[in-house]
Amino acid sequence: MRDERAYAAVVAAFAAFLYLAIVVAAFGLISLATNTEVIADPDVGTLVGPVMTGAATLTVFAFLLSLGLRVPADNQRVMPGVALGVGLAAYFVYAAAGGIAGAAGDPSQPFHYFLFTFAQLGSWYAITVGIAAFLVTLLYQLVLVGRFRQRGRPRWPWESDDDE
pLDDT in tens, 119-135: 889 899 999 999 999 99
Q: What is the pLDDT of residues 100-114, one digit of tens each?
A: 888 887 778 878 888
Model pTM score: 0.85
Average pLDDT over all residues of the chain: 87
Cα separation of 106 and 87, whole Å?
29
Give the pLDDT score at 24: 96
> What percentage of the chain has pLDDT greater than the value 90?
50
Nearest to 130 by CA among 158, 92, 73: 92
Query: pLDDT (tens digit, 9 = 90+) per residue, 33-62?
Result: 999 998 888 778 788 899 999 999 999 999
CA distances from 116 to 37, 42, 67, 123 (A): 14, 11, 32, 11
Exposed / middle / buried, residue 34 (Cβ in 10 Å: 0-12, 13-18, 19+)? exposed
Closest CA to 137 of 94, 92, 88, 96: 88
Does the structure show a pLDDT above 60 at 149? no
